[in-house]
């Protein structure tokens, strides 16, 4: 295993290790204005949701590594404590990348990257028409994490209003991840897409407590065929089921485990249990 002392490498190297390993990251396309009302638009992948009540989003503009200067977004937010945080999908990913260019503070990234402004309901910064989801936010807190190049600045934002494009909703009115088509940030020049091959469901045992892998029968627990993921799925039930009467031909252990693995892959965990017990 490679071991790295973070104090023995350059900030640039550390940045590459952190951003290439902690992935994928959602991208916040942040719209702000300065005290004169000049617009700025910039993407940040140090971003996520951190509270539901109150609804809190946090993103972090990092001081430029090369010269320790601050981003225009951070400068604007210290003047006008409001912002729009918009999400980035495949349709606008290239425009968002262009908006990340080092334009001067008096240049409008809306124009540079070809985005359309929509007046917000509660705040001064503009919504981004092309984004599938826009959050109008009040900035509650700005926390500086250091004074070096590469130091982050946590912008803690409280969501006031959410604007959702109806085209990304399913028949029940919920956000469909495939229609949302969100783009994620990886390391270096890499980005991630959202498609049928890249997403899948794991049913959370919210209303029940699984028996746990440690309580699986030894014959299953010591399998050379079933993976840790397979065992976790089997261990998510509340109790080991009873064997149903059947007239099937007895199978060898390896055959049972192989068949069970195939059933688990098809989402048929209870049928897999019937093979295994």
What are the tens digits of pLDDT across the range 78-87?
999 999 999 9
Question: Are 240 and 210 within 8 A, CB to CB?
Answer: no
What tokens does 227 get? 């993976």
Separation CA 101–CA 109 (nearest Å)? 9
Question: Are 96 and 29 within 8 A, CB to CB?
Answer: yes
Going from the N-terminus, what domains does the chain have, and what CATH number goes with each? 11-192 (2.30.110.10), 213-276 (no CATH)
Taking the CA atoms of the chain, what radius of gyration do you get in angstroms? Answer: 25
Question: What is the model's pLDDT at position 237?
Answer: 87
Confidence tier at 165 by pLDDT (50, 70, 90) = very high
Average pLDDT over residues 148-154: 88
Of 67-81, 145-159, 198-212, 255-269, the poorest mean pLDDT is in 198-212
Note the pTM of the prediction, 2 decimals. 0.84
127-139 confidence digits (pLDDT tens): 999 999 999 999 9
Lateral strand order in the sheet of 133-144? 39-44, 28-33, 82-87, 133-144, 153-164, 56-59, 47-51
Question: What is the model's pLDDT at position 219?
Answer: 92
- Higher per-residue pLDDT: 249 or 263: 263
Q: How many residues does the chain have?
A: 277
For the chain, what is the mean pLDDT?
91
Average pLDDT over residues 44-58: 97
pLDDT above 70 as % of the chain: 96
Question: What is the model's pLDDT at position 35?
Answer: 94
For Cα atoms 59, 64, 70, give the angle at the middle one, nearest 5 degrees.
70
Separation CA 72–CA 43 (nearest Å)? 12
Confidence tier at 247 by pLDDT (50, 70, 90) = low
Q: Report residue 256: phi and psi, to 5°.
A: -60, -50
Separation CA 83–CA 73 (nearest Å)? 9
Question: What is the model's pLDDT at position 207?
Answer: 62
Question: What is the model's pLDDT at position 248?
Answer: 66
Count of Cβ atoms closer than 10 Å to residue 158 Cβ: 16
Assess whether pLDDT exceeds 90 at residue 104.
no
Question: What is the model's pLDDT at position 103?
Answer: 84
- Exposure string over 91-121, b if 16+ CB within 10 A, otherwise e: ebbebbbbbbeebeeeeebbeebebebbebe
Question: Are 173 and 157 within 8 A, CB to CB?
Answer: no
Assess whether pLDDT exceeds 90 at residue 51.
yes
Confidence tier at 171 by pLDDT (50, 70, 90) = very high
Quote helix, strand, coil % in the chain, to nearest 5: 25, 25, 50
188-219 confidence digits (pLDDT tens): 999 999 988 888 887 766 567 888 999 999 99
Question: What is the model's pLDDT at position 205?
Answer: 60
Question: Are 44 and 58 within 8 A, CB to CB?
Answer: no
């Amino acid at each position: 295993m490679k071991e790295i002392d973070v104090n023995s490498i350059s900030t640039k190297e550390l940045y590459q290790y952190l951003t290439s390993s902690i992935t994928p990251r959602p991208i916040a396309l942040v719209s702000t204005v300065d005290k004169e009302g000049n617009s700025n638009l910039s993407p940040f992948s140090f971003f996520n949701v951190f509270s539901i009540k109150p609804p809190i989003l946090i993103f972090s503009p990092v001081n430029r590594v090369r010269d320790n200067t601050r981003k225009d977004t951070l400068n604007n937010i210290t003047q006008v404590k409001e912002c729009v945080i918009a999400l980035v999908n495949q349709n606008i990913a290239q425009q968002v990348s262009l908006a990340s260019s080092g334009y001067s503070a008096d240049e409008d990234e809306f124009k540079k990257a070809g985005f359309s402004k929509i007046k917000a309901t509660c705040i001064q910064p503009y919504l981004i028409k092309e984004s599938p989801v826009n959050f109008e936010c009040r900035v509650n807190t700005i926390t500086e994490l250091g004074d070096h190049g590469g130091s982050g600045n946590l912008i803690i934002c409280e969501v006031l209003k959410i604007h959702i494009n109806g085209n990304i909703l399913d028949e029940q009115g919920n956000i469909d991840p495939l229609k949302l088509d969100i783009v994620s940030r990886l390391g270096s020049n890499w980005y991630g897409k959202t498609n049928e091959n890249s997403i899948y469901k794991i049913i959370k045992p919210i209303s029940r407590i699984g028996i746990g892998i440690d309580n699986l029968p030894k014959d299953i627990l010591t399998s050379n065929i079933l993976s840790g993921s397979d065992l976790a799925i089997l261990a998510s039930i509340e109790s080991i089921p009873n064997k149903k009467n059947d007239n099937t031909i007895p199978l060898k252990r390896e055959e049972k485990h192989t068949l069970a693995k195939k059933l688990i892959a098809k989402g048929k965990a209870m049928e897999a249990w019937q093979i295994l017990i």
